[in-house]
Amino acid sequence: MTAYDKPALTSARHVEQWQRRGLAVYDRQRAERYLSFIGYYRLSAYSLPFQEGNPGHHFRSGISFDHVLDLYVFDRELRLLVLDAIERIEVAIRCQINNHMSLAYGPHWYLEESRFIAKYDHKALLANIERMFRSSRETFVRHYRVNTCRRACRQAGL
């Protein structure tokens, strides 16, 4: 492994470094504030498309801190939109699977190992479900626990 020999720099020093490399910074305090919350190395990755591609990391003419920040913000917003879409797709697919399996095999179909392919680790699935069930603070899970326990106690004559 190669030794890392670059010294740690403050946000102010990083801004100065970028300015020496040709990045226009119109509001130093603002740039330093963003660096202190986002981090130089995270934000520096978004500066790469605006550099000339030489080992000195010099910026193309006319590039400002706002160009770098705008790319970061765009990427962040795009990531949030994509994750939101993925979450919706995941929920919809899980719902369709559960609806189909519940109607075909009953509401606790997932407890039956025979419903899964042989090489699937069904015991690990059940352990994971139980762990998540016990630790969940979701309203619907708490409601299910309370009502299931009451019903089970009544059935047992307790």
Instruction: State the chain's maximal CA–CA distance in angstroms.
Output: 81
Determine contact, residues 67/22, Cβ cutoff 8 Å.
Answer: no
Looking at residue 153, its pLDDT comes to: 60
Confidence of residue 3 (pLDDT cuts 50, 70, 90): confident
Give kind and range of the element (H or E) at residue 59: none
Cα angle 27, 31, 33; round to 5: 120
pLDDT in tens, 84-123: 999 999 999 999 999 999 999 998 899 999 999 999 999 9
The candidate with the shortest Cα–Cα distance to 42, out of 19, 13, 69, 10, is 69
Q: Positive or negative CA dihedral for 107, 112, 117, 122?
A: positive
DSSP state of 53: S
Q: Which of 55-59, 71-75, 143-147, 153-157 has the lowest mean pLDDT?
A: 153-157
pLDDT in tens, 17-68: 999 999 999 999 999 999 999 999 999 999 999 999 778 899 999 999 999 9
| pTM, full prediction | 0.71
The candidate with the shortest Cα–Cα distance to 35, out of 5, 63, 7, 8, is 8
